[in-house]
Amino acid sequence: MDFQRTIAKEISFSGIGLHTGNKSNVTLKPAGVDTGIVFVRCDLPDSPRIKAAINFLSTVGNTPRRTTVESKGAQVQTIEHFMAALAGSGINNLEVELDNNEMPGLDGSSIKYMDIISQAGIRELGKARDYFSIKEQIRIEEGGAYIMVLPCDDFKISYTLDYNLVEQRREFIELNFSAPEVFKQEIAPARTFCLESEAKELQQQGLGLGANYENTLVLTKDGTVIKNKVRFCDEFVRHKILDLMGDLNLLGFGLKGHIIAFKSGHALNLKLVNAITKQREKYSMKKESGILEVTDIMKILPHREPFLFVDRIIKLEYGKHATGIKNVTINDYFFKGHFPGHPVMPGVIIIEAMAQVGGVMMLAPEENRGKLAFFMAINNVKFRKPVVPGDQLVLEVEAVKVKSKTGQVRGRALVEGKVVAEADLMFALVE
């Protein structure tokens, strides 16, 4: 089970931005479960917070050749190398305070970021990370370049670089990132690059103002690296994968799929991120409306009639809380034998209905799909009012603690806004 992570302690560093040339002082701070990666511009009034997420992306054309997030006019540019390092380190929750508009370039790769994270230490949080497995092929083409993703049980990238950097040269690499050390060993040290012929033009456009021969590989037409040496014979294609992984980290969840890219850059990468987000919304049990119908519930729970006691989920936040509906009718089978002259819904079935809502909350995430939730304990049960045919039970469940193998929830059942039953439930989550 892959749990969410943050850093163990606060750590600070400084550096010059590759494009703006601005110096930024950065402090990384631990953050709690489900925070995500949040940049905080502490140099600006009210210290605006900018989440590293697709809906905070700046228009690609406004800050070319880099990935930028912004909110209400506040920007953080060139986040891709840092975001790739977080992905490689398994850090999902972090506050990043900085006092300028660009992350430091450091050596032009992700390895120094990983070293800083290692110094801070990594702390595992008590909640599983969210994953999405690609269900159907996505392909995006533009100007002779393309990027696609196919269903796959692992996370793999195959990348072909062919920018005529040097005559008759093409680079290809394919890597499986299932093992955590692969990114650090094979990708993190790869530095950004450009052609000598384009370097001056880029600086005239206001780009690369913080670049130098140490943090950027500059190539002549014959393939010579000026005033530096490559760390890999195919360092350029490896850096393109680094950029891609940094951009993919804007998804906010882990990915299982095989990405195949040809000459893809930030613009195509980010279009893929958007397309994956839309596919996840399409296939996820957590719909935009927050509603799951009974057919969706049956994809999560193994229960079937006459032992499925939830008609609908009207609110759902994975691993946190859920609200379900059970419409109580005289046709429910248990009324045939439970006080048939004065039908009353059995209390144990009300508790079971609460438990099923809790099961949806815990089992809906991708990493828990297919598991079963078995009762371990029921505590603090109280029945306050009979439930009869014609009532609509509103079943509210809130997580107390959800781990990889156990879950504790607090549940309430209400009719017309009044509590009719409540209980604390504990489950074992098993394969």
pLDDT at 200: 74
Euclidean distance between CA atoms 359 and 382, whole angstroms:
20
* Calpha distance 385→163 (Å, rounded): 72
Q: What are phi and psi of 393, to 5 degrees?
A: -80, 125
Residue 317: what are its φ and ψ, rounded to 5°?
-130, 115
Distance of alpha carbon 156 from the chain centroid:
17
The predicted-structure confidence for 83-128, as pLDDT tens digits, reads as follows: 999 999 999 999 999 999 999 999 999 999 999 999 999 999 988 8
pLDDT at 60 (0 to 100): 66
What are the catalytic residues?
266, 338
Any bridge partners for residue 260, and if so which? 148, 158
- For 117-161, the pLDDT digits (tens) are 999 999 999 888 888 889 899 999 998 999 999 999 899 999 999
pLDDT of amino acid 201: 77
Backbone angles phi, psi at 167, to 5 degrees: -65, 135
Domain residue extents for the chain: 3-283, 294-430
Give pLDDT < 50 ranges for the chain.
Answer: 286-289
Instruction: Provide φ and ψ at 97, rounded to 5°.
Output: -90, 135
- The two domains 3-283 and 294-430 share their CATH topology (first three levels equal): no
Fold of 3-283: lpxc deacetylase, domain 1 (3.30.1700)
**What is the pLDDT, as a whole number, of residue 286?**
46
DSSP 190-229: PPPEEEHHHHHHHHHTT--TT--TTTSEEE-TTSPBTTS-
Query: What is the dihedral sign for C-alpha 363, 366, 367, 370?
Result: positive
The encoded tokens of residue 103 equal 């992350």
Instruction: Quickly count: other Cβ atoms within 10 Å of residue 145's Cβ.
Output: 17
* pLDDT at 289 (0 to 100): 47
Q: What is the spatial distance between Cα 169 and Cα 162, in angstroms, rounded to a whole number?
A: 7
| Torsion of the alpha carbons at 87, 27, 70 and 250, rounded to the nearest 10 | 10
Task: Specify the DSSP element, H or E, that contains 420.
Answer: strand 418-430
- What local confidence, expressed as pLDDT, does residue 1 receive? 56
User: What is the pLDDT at residue 247?
Assistant: 97
What distance in Å separates the CA atoms of residue 120 and residue 12, rounded to the nearest whole number? 9
Q: Name residue, tokens 């996820």.
A: 284
In this structure, whether the domain defined by 294-430 belongs to CATH 3.10.129.10 is answered with yes
Distance separating alpha carbons of residues 229 and 246, to the nearest angstrom = 24
For residues 379-407, one letter each, b for 16 or more C-beta atoms within 10 angstroms of the residue's C-beta and e for the rest, the string is: eeeebeeebeeebebbbbbebeebeeeeb
Residue-level pLDDT at 163: 66
**AA letter at 422:** E
